[in-house]
Amino acid sequence: MGERAAQLGWAFETQAIHVGQEADPATGAVVTPISLSTTFRQHAVGQHQGYEYSRSGNPTRTALETCVAALERAGHGLSFASGLAAEDNILRLLAPGGRVLLGNDAYGGTFRLISRVHTALPWSAVDLLDVDALAADWPADTAMVWLETPTNPLLRCVDIEAVAALAHRHGALVVVDNTFATPALQQPLTLGADVVVHSATKYLGGHSDVVGGFVAVDDDSLAERLRFTQNAAGAVPAPFDCYLTLRGVKTLALRMERHCSNARAVVDLLVGHPSVERVYYPQLPDHPGHAAAAKQMNDFGGMVSFTVRGGAARAMDIVARTELFTLAESLGAVESLIEHPARMTHASAAGSPLEVPDNLIRLSVGIEHPDDLVADLEQALGGSVRTGRSGCRRVAAAERPPTGRSGP
Ligand code: P1T
């Protein structure tokens, strides 16, 4: 406990590199070993060194869970085989008939899981930015509020504190998908959320080479119920995947700084560009939820979305024309990606309240040199127009929140 308390006194960047990652007591190895053993010796029945069978617990997984739990300011962390496996585990906390309030902009796969797999759970898509309207029309059977902030793909920012206060007055659990912000920019448990979930496939892993999920909770009984379900249903990650995710986490804070500053360079280009109809980025003063983002985030993130003039055909043309931004699903890794949500990541939301505009393009801005990223988008948008560099609506430095240390 003393050691843990000391670790929690470290700044975020230090914790990311050291918590749960003490040198291996057997060999002194500085890097957490990949523990491949599926089973562990017992000296007598039930007498073991903390591990019995690798579905129930694994040393490499423990290192990852200990580290990311600390980063999320959580007492408990559980890692999963994917983000959706983590989400599935959380939804299994609910008894049949418990309503899930889902924000009206969210990852299409989350919507599919709630609406088509957990069919015993009624759901409503609601505007979580209008807390007064939600309070006035609160469905009595609500058991859980599920929110992303910033949302995928419109980057709407929800006031976590306000929604948590409302939900808790009605006895509902609050789940925050922190995939887009990461704990480097936002720590939802400190703002009143009950559960944090991640697609670790994204910024936590950070290199597009591992699929994973993560759940962080502070409440002991919630943790116990989640662990029971994870062990009983078995959606655990492989030790190698835990190693890769932990390796990614070590550089999370540094990467996020660069993702954010590169995103600003891209926003500078897009705002006011003649091909662009509207830019979605939480730092823009008129962005939905800008005030909440400014209050609860250390910086505004590496995701940028925009709609283009000329409809879906023009959007599809642009995403096919970038050379540095790779046309691909997923996000949050070192390389920049571009995609067309209506036909790719959010196709499963077509015809639902979560449907996205078909002239929308989503960018996951990587950590390459910003000039190369801006030049690539400029050529893909078809133009010689360099609005950002000519100073059009450059985001003022004074508006930027401090980055860097986001310690305890
Ligand atoms: O892909 P998986 O690790 O199972 O995570 C699902 C998931 C959960 N939450 C959010 C906010 C997500 O964005 C995702 C996955 N999203 C994509 C693959 C994408 O390109 O948007």
Distance (Å, whole) CA 159 – CA 374: 31
Mutate to test the pocket of ligand 1, among 202, 214, 327 (most ligand atoms within 8 A of CB): 202
Each residue of 341-351: pLDDT tens digit? Answer: 999 999 999 99
Query: Do the Cβ atoms of 180 and 210 come closer than 8 Å?
Result: no
Distance (Å, whole) CA 309 – CA 183: 35
CA of 221 to the centre of ligand 1 (A): 27
Distance (Å, whole) CA 338 – CA 179: 17
* Contacts (Cβ under 8 Å, ≥6 apart) of 189: 72, 73, 74, 196, 216, 217, 218
- In 3-state terms, what secondary structure has residue 43? coil
Which residues' Cβ are closer than 6 Å to ligand 1?
82-84, 107, 109-110, 148, 152, 177, 179, 199, 201, 211, 213, 329-331, 345
Each residue of 94-140: pLDDT tens digit? Answer: 999 999 999 999 999 999 999 999 999 999 999 999 999 999 999 99
Query: Has 107 been annotated as catalytic?
Result: yes
CA of 91 to the centre of ligand 1 (A): 16
Paired strand residues for 216: 77, 196
Mutate to test the pocket of ligand 1, among 80, 107, 113, 329 (most ligand atoms within 8 A of CB): 107
Instruction: Note the pLDDT of residue 6.
Output: 59
Q: Enumerate domains of the chain plus CATH numbers.
A: 2-250 (3.40.640.10), 253-399 (3.90.1150.10)
Which strand ranges, in their side-by-side order, compose the sheet holding 337-339?
276-280, 303-308, 360-364, 337-339, 326-327
Instruction: Note the pLDDT of residue 3.
Output: 59
Q: Verify cis geometry, omega within 30 degrees of 0, for the bond prior to 150.
A: yes
Q: Which segments of the chain have a pLDDT < 50?
A: 1-2, 384-408
Each residue of 3-62: pLDDT tens digit? Answer: 565 566 899 999 999 999 999 999 999 999 999 999 999 999 999 999 999 999 999 999
Query: Has 116 been annotated as catalytic?
Result: no
Instruction: Note the pLDDT of residue 9.
Output: 86
Instruction: Give the 3-state DSSP-derived string for 133-198, with helices as H, strands as E and coil as C.
Output: HHHHCCCCCEEEEEEECCCCCCCCCCCHHHHHHHHHHCCCEEEEECCCCCCCCCCHHHHCCCEEEE
Instruction: Note the pLDDT of residue 395.
Output: 42
Query: Has 55 been annotated as catalytic?
Result: yes
Which strand ranges, in their side-by-side order, compose the sheet holding 195-199?
76-80, 213-217, 195-199, 173-177, 142-148, 99-103, 123-126
